[in-house]
Amino acid sequence: MSQQVALAAVPRKRRGSTGQWVITLVLLAGSLVMIVPFLWMVMTSFDWGARLNITFPPKLWPEEPSIKPYRAAFTNIPMMNYIFNSFLVSVGVILVSAMSALLSGYALSKLRFKGSNAVLLLALSTMMIPFEMTMIPQYLLFSKIGLIDTYWAFYLPALNYAFGTFLAKAFIDQLPSALREAAIIDGAREISVFWRIYLPLCTPIIATMIILLFLGVWNDMLWPLLALKSASKYTIQIGLAMFTYNNGLNQQPAIIMAATAVSLIPIVVVYLFLQRYIIESIALSGIKQ
C-alpha cells in the first residue's frame, strides 16, 4: 500500500515541477520585456554619441561612455525647477486625497448612518468614468473661476479620491470598533477618536495611498498639459516633453534619456522607503475583528 502511494506521488511531482518551470520561464520573459526598455534608457543616458537607431546585435555598452549627458541635462533644462514643481503638486495632491479618503473611509466604516452603502457605491461609480470624458468640463469650470495655471487645479479635484475611500474603509473595517466605543464612553469627541486612535493605526494604508498617488501624479501628463500655461510652473513630465518638442529627440537623445533617468529617482526612493508598509497593509487586511 505504501509503495502504491509512493508511485502515485511521482507523476504529480513531475507535473508540478514542469509547471513551475513553465511559470518561471513566463515570468522571466515578462520581466525581460519590462526591464529591457529601462536598461536601454540608462545605457543611452551615459552614451554621449547615442543615436536613435536600432542595431543588430543590440549594443550592450555605450560607445562613448560619459556623464556629459547628465551635465547637459541640468544645464539646458531647468530640471530643479521642474522637479520642485512636481513635488509641490504631488505633496499637495497626496495630502488632500489621503486625508479626504481617510475621513470618508472612517465615516463609512465606523459611523453607522442611513444610506452609507449608497454613498460608497456612488463614490465608487465615479471610478468607472474615464478622465478623458470629464477633463473638458473640468477645464471649462476651472477656467471660469480663474484656477487655470494655478496648482489649485490639481488640489481641488483631489478631494474626490474614490479608490482611496474604498481602501481606507476596507482597512478601518478590520480595526476594532471597541476602541471607538471606549473612547466615546471616556468623553472623547469623534474627531479626536479618529485623529488620536484610528489615524496612527492606518499607517500601512496611508503608505499605500502615498505610493499610488505619487506614481500617478508624478507621471501624469494630460491634465498638467491642459491646466498649466506658464513654463515656470511646468511639472517635470511637461518640461521634458516641451524640451523634446522644441529640440527634437533625434538631435539629443542622450540628454533626454539622462533627464528622464533623473526624473525617475524620486519614484524609486519613495517606493523603497514605503514598500514594507504595502506588504503590512496586505497582511493586516486578512485580520478579523
Q: Is the pLDDT of residue 150 over 50?
A: yes
Contact 259, 73 (CB under 8 A): yes
Q: Distance between CA atoms of 23 and 247, rounded to whole angstroms?
A: 44
Smallest CA-to-CA distance from 46 within 26, 71, 27 is with 71
**Quick count: other Cβ atoms within 10 Å of Cβ 7?**
9
Give residue-wise pLDDT tens across range 90-138: 999 999 999 999 999 999 888 878 888 888 888 888 888 888 888 899 9
- Confidence (pLDDT) at 14: 53
Instruction: Inform me whether the pLDDT recorded for 70 exceeds 80.
Output: yes
- Please check whether residue 228 is in contact with residue 143, taking contact to mean a CB–CB distance below 8 angstroms: no
- Residues 94 and 220: their CA atoms lie apart, in Å, by 14
Read off the pTM: 0.81
Instruction: Report how far residue 114's alpha carbon sits from residue 173's, in angstroms, rounded to the nearest whole number.
Output: 17
Q: Which residues pair with 145 in a beta bridge?
A: none
Lowest mean pLDDT among 13-17, 129-133, 160-164, 265-269: 13-17
**pLDDT of residue 173 exceeding 80:** yes
pLDDT confidence of residue 283: 60
Cα 254 from Cα 42, distance rounded (Å): 9
Spatial separation of the C-alpha atoms in residues 206 and 102, rounded to whole Å: 8
pLDDT score at 80: 92
Neighbours of 43 (CB within 10 A): 18
Q: Is the bond preceding residue 57 a cis peptide, omega within 30 degrees? A: yes
Contacts of 150 (CB under 8 A, 6+ apart): none
Average of per-residue pLDDT across 145-166: 91
Q: How far apart are CA 19 and CA 25, in angstroms?
A: 10
d(CA 167, CA 163): 6
